[in-house]
Structure 1
Amino acid sequence: MRRPFRVLLSLAATAVGLTVLSVPANAAAENYVALGDSYSSGLGTGGPYSGGNCKRSTGAYPQLWANSHSPASFSFAACSGATTSDVLNSQVNSLSASTTLVTISIGGNDAGFVDVITTCTLNGDSACVNRVEQGKTFVRDTLPARLDNTYNAIKQRSPSARVVVLGYPRFYKVPGSCSVGLSDTKRAAINSGADALAEVTAQRAAAAGFRFVDIRPIWTGHEICASDRWLNSLTWPVDESYHPNRNGQSGGYLPALNAALSLS
């Protein structure tokens, strides 16, 4: 009975575009450090939050994983608004030679995530498309070196750790069922920016010897304008806008991470 089960698991991994990782026999032996930005800190879940402006949520996938696996140690260093520089200048201090597992989502803020969304919300289609294209140029030309520096720092501090790099979802279902909000032209442009970011991040993670988890497949059908959305649209408090809600963390990111760590 075990071989068919393994086949089903392998098919599931292929369906969500995940790379297989081996795992230690005992998750309780893990020394886990969660790095990254607001998509890892859990901003968007409605809280409760800790860490001041870092907005670390009890509903974020790192905390959920730690709760369910009871690792030997867990350091939640991810911080809302973080860029690669923030990871290099402060978050990597949470790593050590004894760290066995690291997760990270990073790069969206470097690429101007907030400014892209602001431009697309307040301006017409042309301005939105142009701003997205600027972001994509940055992602392709400048971000790779920043990711390389960040990943190298992680390897230097925790050379024996397994590192899982988690990507970002597409924001919109296009065409969508939303009767108000951004046009389909803007939605498609924003999605193209997410695609560019995923492609570059996957390449640099592979070059570093890390595992990249492509969130886009598992998120399909749960974008803004889908009936079962895992992502906030414009909401209050405004900083929670365009971030995964609790279902996005528990139903999207957490299962994707579990699949990446559990399959063998």
Structure 2
Amino acid sequence: MKLSRMTAYVSSIFLTAAFALTGAGVASAATHAQAAGTDYVALGDSYSSGVGTGTYDSSSGSCKRSPKAYPSLWAASHAPASFAFTACSGATTDDVKANQLAPLNSSTDLVSITIGGNDAGFSDVMTTCVLNSQSTCINRINQARTYADTVLPGKLDSVYDAIRAKAPNAHVVVIGYPHFYKIGGSCFGGLSDTSRAAINGAADELNTVTAKRAADHGYTFASVVPPFTNHEICSSNSWLNSLVWTNIGESYHPTAAGQSGAYLPTFTSAA
């Protein structure tokens, strides 16, 4: 049950005054109390479901929702009033609209989402780059960038509109994608730095398009590029899986450390 507007207002005055007397400890308590009244829904693709962490809820099937994914971690630490986790591995914008929006309603306070990478074909980009020449890799990256510039904006508008229609009062946090590679890092062999830099550039393109569409809908865009810096593939402490031959689906996704060390604090700050 949510607090009335007057009760919430009085509570905020009390907490503000208490903070002035006791400092950050009360601020933390206030944040937790606020979250405790929150109805939270986590939407999106594999970067939200937690693919790459290696631990999944068996009941989620091929969606591979993980207790180590940032939505689960945030819910565990903030104890929201309700938590619905519908993000799914492989999801596109159309999949979100068709399969993930049922928990949303006028009482939903908070929504998180990562989406767009599958629409732009990033999985095929990585497969193409790993298995083919540099020129073939670059060509496929350029195709993805063209899609991100020309087709994806409309796809994002459609899913963002659908979220707002079902959850008109929600604070929506749209989270981006990391750079995959540290250029000039510790990797030997494999892709050239030219290909790696082009892949990072495509991630930037996707983030730029996503951030613009999010802003135009009044949503908050949160970048994970800064916290992943020096934790990319080819760094000495990567928070991203490289190519995992024994479990291809885990490849190029955040590890448990990437979820807890990058996605979780990024979402927490934006929520």
Common fold by TM > 0.5: yes
Pairwise CA distance, 1:24: 9.0
Indicate whether 1:188 and 2:197 are aligned. Answer: yes
> What is the CA-CA distance between 1:112 and the residue it aligns to?
0.3
Q: Is the 8 A contact 2:32 2:78 kept in 1?
A: no
> Is the counterpart of residue 172 in structure 1 residue 161 in structure 2?
no
Distance change (3 Å), C-alpha of 1:67 and 1:25: closer
Structure 1 segments (4+ residues) deviating >6 Å? none
CA offset at residue 180 of structure 1?
2.5
Partners of 1:245 and 1:49 in 2: CA distance: 16
Unaligned runs of 5+ in 1: 7-22
Structure 2 stretches of 5 or more lacking a match?
1-18, 25-30
User: Aligned equivalents of 1:58 and 1:244: distance in 2?
Assistant: 14
Alignment of 1:1-264 (within 5 A): 26-50=34-58, 51-235=60-244, 236-261=246-271
Q: Deviations over 1:106-163 (max 9, x none)?
A: 0000000111001100001100001000000000000000000100100000000000
Tell me which residue corresponds to 1:14: none
1:84-115 CA distances to partner (integer Å, 9 max, x unpaired)? 00011111112111111000000000000111
The superposition leaves residues 184-220 of structure 1 with CA deviations (integer Å, 9 ceiling, x where unpaired) of 1110111111000000000000000000001111111
One-letter identity of the residue aligned with 2:265:
P
State the AA in 1 paired with 2:202.
G
1:228 maps to a residue whose letter is N
Q: Distance in 1 between matches of 2:80 and 2:126?
A: 37
- Percent identical pairs in the alignment equals 58
Q: CA deviation at 1:48?
A: 3.0
Contact 2:125 2:140 in 1 (8 A): yes
Per the TM alignment, residue 182 of structure 1 is displaced from its structure 2 partner at its CA by 1.2
2:233 alignment partner AA: I
Aligned residue pairs, count: 243
Partner Cα separation in structure 2 for residue 24 and residue 160 of structure 1: 20
Q: Under a length normalisation based on structure 1, what TM-score does the superposition of the two structures give? A: 0.89
Q: Once the 2 structures are TM-superposed, how far is the Cα of residue 58 of structure 1 from its aligned partner?
A: 0.7
Q: Which residue is equivalent to 2:3?
A: none
Q: Is the 8 A contact 2:153 2:213 kept in 1?
A: yes
In the alignment, the residues of structure 1 paired with residue 220 and residue 145 of structure 2 have an alpha-carbon distance, to the nearest angstrom, of 23
RMSD of the alignment, in Å?
A: 1.5
Distance 1:58 1:122 in 2: 32
Match of 2:10 in 1: none
Return the alpha-carbon distance in structure 2 between the equivalents of residues 190 and 93 of structure 1. Answer: 34
Equivalent position SS for 2:125: helix
Higher relative contact order by CA 8 Å / sep ≥ 6: 1 or 2? 1
- Rg bigger for which structure? 2
Q: 1:197-251: per-residue Cα shift (whole Å, max 9, x none)?
A: 0000000000000000011111110000001101000113110000000000000
Distance 2:32 2:115 in 1: 26
Cα distance in 2 between the residues matched to 1:154 and 1:238: 31
Which stretch has the larger CA shift, 186-195 or 173-182?
Answer: 173-182
